[in-house]
Amino acid sequence: MSNIKVALVGNPNTGKTSLFNRLTGLNQKVGNYPGITVDKKIGFTKLTSDKGAEIIDLPGTYSLNASSLDEDVAVKVLSDKNNENYPDVVVVVVDIENLKRNLFIFTQIKDLGIPTILAINMADQMTVRGIDIDIPKLESVLETKIALVSSKQNKGISHLKKLITSYKLLSVLPCFVEQDSVFSQYAKDDKKKHHLETVRRYQFLKSTLEETYTQDPQNAKDIRTLLDRILIHKVYGYLIFFTILFTVFQALFSWSAIPMDFIDSTFATLSEKTREYLPSGVFTNLLAEGIIPGIGGVVIFIPQIAFLFLFTSFLEESGYMSRVVFLMDRIMRRFGLSGKSIVPLISGTACAIPAIMAARNIENWKERLITILVTPFTTCSARLPVYAIIISLIIPTEATFLSFNVQGLLLMSLYLLGFSTAILAAAFLDKMLKISSKSYFVIEMPNYKLPLFKNVAYNVIEKTKAFVFEAGKIILAISILLWVLASYGPGDHLKNASEIVQKQHPTHQGDLLQTEIASYKLEHSYIGVMGKLIEPAIKPLGYDWKIGVAVITSFAAREVFVGTLATIYSVGNEQESTIKDRMRNEVYQDSKKPVYSFATGISILLFYAFAMQCMSTIAIVKRETNGWKWPMIQMFVMSGMAYVTAFIAYQTLS
Amino acid sequence: MKANTIADLQRGERAIIKSFMEIDVPLKLIEMGCIEGNYVEVLQRAPMQDPIYLNISGTYLAIRLEIASKVLVEKL
């Protein structure tokens, strides 16, 4: 039997996603709507022993007037009977404390003639806030069935499920009719009519709620006033914001260090054991030198990414992020940005791709474009593995400055560098771009709430999973390709390697001879030949050809850098050691000085701070700006900057 | 009496929304409940007075001074 198709609709901040999580558990998947990148979340739930429901969580919207891309998705799904996601029944989720505004979209959806259930969420607040609702009356005026639910306390869910099961009994009549103003008949740009219709809908809701909804004003006080007084205070507000950022980044580095070291050594052991227990041959080599280090290169950044997503989703869920937007708007505008650019710039520390999509909330096109163009400067989590390994190579762990860990401070300065570059670039673009567009800045300031553990956890799991699998696919493929390129080469150099090396170094024996042979082989493999070819271009930055190869492969995605080096350094190297140890022992072929000196390290850090080493970002910028012009400009400017700063840094420091 | 806009309200002041100076007020603002007859209260103004944090008939939102100066109100 087929599942009932349910669509969840509602304003942002109504706990729609919490309800979705409640209904579906981890039984959900995230995809994309065809052609656009708005997240499409679908989950499944069991209604009765033999009936199930497929639930689609539509993007949070304030109305069906389709003034943004997210709203457009909701309109497309709900107004087209042939749409693959067209639901059998709609559940409109509203917050009990702001019924009037939340019900606005409900009246619009009722006009579409789809069976509709009203789920009044956060019902646990009823007694606390002194709210009383005449449910039967409201049901009859709105032509619907109502479920009072609390996704926080898991109440009312079974009643909601019952209503969904018997959706065929629901009325499909509109609850608000005017002769000439059924919502769907409007021309999209008919603003005046929209305005009038909006006013009439509100009047209808006002009179409806006057009869059915009462709130004891004595109990209406909340912690909003108190928290706002501190959190958006003109001095404390900023202090608190910067303290939070500082703490997050210090914590991020020290907390994830332990699991990361553990993962690093585990994979090194795994490679070693594979070689020990499997019969030697091409397949074992591929496994031990290509695939295992490759996967290790992905797994290693799970801790940091998970922590980052944990912090960003905590800030979003708690309602604090909107306060930051409010605090920063005036300042950001000075640089051609919007207060709302703070969200992309902060979530850009996780990944530029969702961050660039988050810029959709910015109403002004110029501000939005600038935000899109500068967001990739912020330090995304893919830079972290590169930073982490280089920092740990050039700064001793125990080094402290004013009792702060120097490694942490350097990492923090890289974040600051990324952020300030983004801001300065924005100011520059603001002067350069001649685009005039009206600024409609409207942002809801939601109630403060303690984030639900479940929501945050799902968010972290889901995003980390998506990131690791997406990045993992690329990294795994590249690792295998690299291994092949590093293990085979043109001509007979590789086959005759040991004879040639023995002839060149007749005195070498044992380990020394083996190492010499291994590096000879690598040098004459396909990858070695390619690396040598580009060496002249990167030598002034302090990179040898191996780093050069890593720079090229990591054009796909920055994190590939570490994986590539892991693969390159492990080919032919049979001792058990971590990537870090191998890098530490690496010397230039001519001068025999360590490759990862302070100068080279800083040069690599700066290169990755600026360079546009991410194909996915280029793709998303192309999609969001509708063409190749902006992503191309962005790429050449960023990578040019990277080369120049890395060059200057290496030449001054070495 | 001189016409006031939301931009003229001090922190803590309440007013009733009367009309809009131009048609081109963002629809989103209207959808959020900023319509004729509703009350508005200024909760806070960010440093440099901009943006303004409002309570419009139970909906909490922030708008820029630029839009606020287009919404005519009558002080309570």
pLDDT, tens digit, for every residue of A364-396?
Answer: 888 999 999 999 999 987 888 889 889 988 888
Stretch A257-278: mean pLDDT, rounded? Answer: 85
Residue of B nearest to A330 (CA): B50
Q: Is B27 on the interface with A (CB under 8 A)?
A: yes
C-alpha A22/C-alpha A45 separation (Å) is: 10
For residue B58, tell me if it sits in a domain: no
Q: What is the pLDDT of residue A365?
A: 86
Total domains in chain B come to 1
Least confident window among A42-51, A173-182, B28-37: A173-182
Least confident window among A266-270, A295-299, A471-475, B26-30: A471-475
Mean pLDDT estimate for chain A:
83
Mean pLDDT estimate for chain B:
86
Q: Is residue B41's pLDDT more than 90?
A: yes
For residue B36, tell me if it sits in a domain: yes
Write down how long chain B is: 76
C-alpha A381/C-alpha A385 separation (Å) is: 8
Q: pLDDT band at A6, cuts 50/70/90?
A: very high
For residue B55, tell me if it sits in a domain: no
Q: What is the pLDDT of residue A471?
A: 67
Q: Is residue A91's pLDDT more than 90?
A: yes
Query: How far, in Å, are A238, A554, A601 from residue A392 at the CA level?
Result: 32, 20, 10
A206, burial (CB in 10 Å: exposed 0-12, middle 13-18, buried 19+)? middle
C-alpha A305/C-alpha A444 separation (Å) is: 28
Q: Which residues of B touch A63 (CB under 8 A)?
A: 27-28, 31
Q: pLDDT band at A55, cuts 50/70/90?
A: very high
Q: Is residue A67's pLDDT more than 80?
A: no
For residue B29, tell me if it sits in a domain: yes
Helices (H), A375-452: 383-394, 406-432
For residue B26, tell me if it sits in a domain: yes
Chain B, residues 29-48, CB within 8 A of chain A, namely 29-33, 35-36, 38, 43-44, 46-48
Q: pLDDT band at A186, cuts 50/70/90?
A: very low
Stretch A104-118: mean pLDDT, rounded? Answer: 89
Residue of A nearest to B29 (CA): A442
Q: Taking CB atoms and an 8 Å limit, are B35 and A202 in contact across chains?
A: yes
Q: Which residues of B touch A440 (CB under 8 A)?
A: 26, 28-29, 67
Question: What residue numbers bound the domain in which B24 lies?
Answer: 1-41
Q: What is the pLDDT of residue A514?
A: 74
Between A161 and A192, residue with greater pLDDT:
A161
C-alpha A136/C-alpha A146 separation (Å) is: 8
Q: Phi and psi (nearest 5°) for A552?
A: -65, -50
Q: Taking CB atoms and an 8 Å limit, are B62 and A440 in contact across chains?
A: no
Between A507 and A561, residue with greater pLDDT:
A561
Stretch A288-301: mean pLDDT, rounded? Answer: 77
Q: Is residue A493's pLDDT more than 70?
A: yes
For residue B32, tell me if it sits in a domain: yes
| Residue-wise pLDDT tens digits, A191-247 | 677 777 888 888 888 888 888 888 776 555 568 888 898 999 989 999 999 898 878
Chain B, residues 2-21, CB within 8 A of chain A, namely none
Q: What is the pLDDT of residue A184?
A: 47
Residue with tokens 């922190």: B11
Indicate the residue of B27, B28, B61 with minimum beta-carbon distance to A445. Answer: B61
A328, burial (CB in 10 Å: exposed 0-12, middle 13-18, buried 19+)? buried
Indicate the residue of A198, A326, A446 with minimum beta-carbon distance to B51. Answer: A326
| Residue-wise pLDDT tens digits, A298-355 | 787 788 778 877 887 888 888 898 999 999 999 998 998 988 898 888 878 877 877 8
Q: What is the pLDDT of residue B63?
A: 92
Taking residue A317's Cβ as centre, other Cβ atoms within 10 Å add up to 20
Helices (H), A132-213: 135-142, 157-165, 191-212
Residue of A nearest to B46 (CA): A327
Cβ–Cβ < 8 Å for A60, A15: no
Q: Which residues of A touch B56 (CB under 8 A)?
A: none
Indicate the residue of B33, B47, B66 with minimum beta-carbon distance to A202. Answer: B33
Q: Which residues of A touch B31 (CB under 8 A)?
A: 62-63, 65, 104, 198
Q: What is the pLDDT of residue A219?
A: 54
H/E stretch holding A42 reads strand A39-48
Tell whether ipTM is more than 0.85: yes
How many percent of chain A have pLDDT more than 70?
Answer: 91
Cβ–Cβ < 8 Å for A137, A166: no
Q: Taking CB atoms and an 8 Å limit, are A228 and B43 in contact across chains?
A: yes
What is the CATH number assigned to the segment(s) A4-219?
Answer: 3.40.50.300
Q: Is residue A474's pLDDT more than 80?
A: no
CB under 8 Å to A398, separation ≥6 — which residues? none
Query: For residue A287, what is the DSSP state?
Result: I
Q: Which two tokens stand for residue A155?
A: 């109440």
Q: pLDDT band at A577, cuts 50/70/90?
A: low
Q: What is the pLDDT of residue A303?
A: 82
Picking from B23, B24, B25, B28 by the largest number of A CB atoms within 10 A of its own CB, the best residue to mutate is B28
Cβ–Cβ < 8 Å for A355, A375: yes
Smallest CA–CA distance, residue A436 to chain B, in Å, is 15
Indicate the residue of A191, A329, A447 with minimum beta-carbon distance to B51. Answer: A329
Delimiting residues of CATH 3.40.50.300 domain(s) in chain A: 4-219
Q: Taking CB atoms and an 8 Å limit, are B46 and A202 in contact across chains?
A: no
Q: Which residues of A touch B18 (CB under 8 A)?
A: none
Picking from A64, A100, A361, A440 by the largest number of B CB atoms within 10 A of its own CB, the best residue to mutate is A440
Q: What is the pLDDT of residue A466?
A: 73
Stretch A278-291: mean pLDDT, rounded? Answer: 82
* A607: nearest Cα among A556, A525, A546, A547: A547
Residue with tokens 């979340």: A41
Q: pLDDT band at A99, cuts 50/70/90?
A: confident
Stretch A502-506: mean pLDDT, rounded? Answer: 79
Stretch A579-600: mean pLDDT, rounded? Answer: 83
Q: What is the pLDDT of residue A539?
A: 92
Q: What is the pLDDT of residue A272?
A: 85
Q: Is B65 on the interface with A (CB under 8 A)?
A: no
Q: Is B63 on the interface with A (CB under 8 A)?
A: yes
Query: For residue A375, what is the DSSP state?
Result: G
Least confident window among A167-171, A438-442, B43-47: A438-442
Smallest CA–CA distance, residue A68 to chain B, in Å, is 10
Picking from A188, A215, A443 by the largest number of B CB atoms within 10 A of its own CB, the best residue to mutate is A443
Q: Is residue A35's pLDDT more than 60?
A: no
Q: What is the pLDDT of residue A36?
A: 52
Q: Which residues of A touch B32 (CB under 8 A)?
A: 62, 101, 442, 444
Residue of B nearest to A447 (CA): B60
How many percent of chain A have pLDDT more than 90?
Answer: 18
Stretch A432-445: mean pLDDT, rounded? Answer: 80
Q: Which two tokens stand for residue B44?
A: 């806070």
Q: Taking CB atoms and an 8 Å limit, are B46 and A326 in contact across chains?
A: yes
Q: Is residue A596's pLDDT more than 60?
A: yes
Q: Taking CB atoms and an 8 Å limit, are B29 and A322 in contact across chains?
A: no
For residue B52, tell me if it sits in a domain: no
Give the highest mean pLDDT range of A438-452, A507-521, B20-34, B61-75: B61-75
| Residue-wise pLDDT tens digits, A544-564 | 888 988 888 887 778 778 877
Q: Is residue A37's pLDDT more than 60?
A: no
Give the highest mean pLDDT range of A116-125, A253-262, A290-299: A116-125
Smallest CA–CA distance, residue B64 to chain A, in Å, is 6
